[in-house]
Amino acid sequence: MTIYFIDGQFTKKDSLNISIDDRGYYFGDGVYEVVKVYDGELFTAEEHIERLFQSASKIKLAIPYSEQQLIDIAKELVKANDVKTGHVYMQVTRGASPRVHQFPELAVTPVVTGYAIHSPRPIKNIEGGVSVKTVEDVRWLRCDIKSLNLLANVLAKQEAHEADCTEAIFIRDGVVTEGSSSNAFGVKDGVVITHPATNLILNGITRRVVLELCKELGISVEERGFTHDEMNEMDEFFITSTTSEITPVVNIDGKAVGSGTPGDVTKKLQEAFARQIPLSVARD
Q: Sign (positive/negative) of CA torsion 113, 32, 79, 283?
A: positive
Nearer to ligand PDD by C-beta: 4 or 43?
43
91: contact with ligand PDD by CB under 6 A = no
Among 183, 194, 247, 266, which residue sits at the site for ligand PDD (rule: CB under 6 A)? Answer: 183
119: contact with ligand PDD by CB under 6 A = no
What is the number of the residue whose Cβ is closest to ligand PDD?
204
Nearer to ligand PDD by C-beta: 96 or 214?
214
Among 49, 56, 83, 205, which residue sits at the site for ligand PDD (rule: CB under 6 A)? Answer: 205
- The span of 3-11, 21-29, 177-185, 262-270 binding ligand PDD (CB under 6 A) equals 177-185
- CA–centroid distance for 250 within its chain: 21
Binding to ligand PDD (CB under 6 A) within 217-276 occurs at 240-243
CA distance 34 to 178: 17
Nearer to ligand PDD by C-beta: 87 or 97?
87
CB of 118 to ligand PDD, least distance (A): 16
Q: What's the start-to-end Cα distance of the chain, in Å? A: 21
- The span of 15-23, 60-68, 200-208, 224-232 binding ligand PDD (CB under 6 A) equals 200-208
CB of 159 to ligand PDD, least distance (A): 15
* Residue 146 annotated to the active site: yes
Exactly one of 36, 133, 146, 157 is catalytic; which is it? 146
Active site residues: 146
Give contact residues for ligand PDD (rule: CB under 6 A): 34, 153, 178, 181-183, 202, 204-207, 240-243
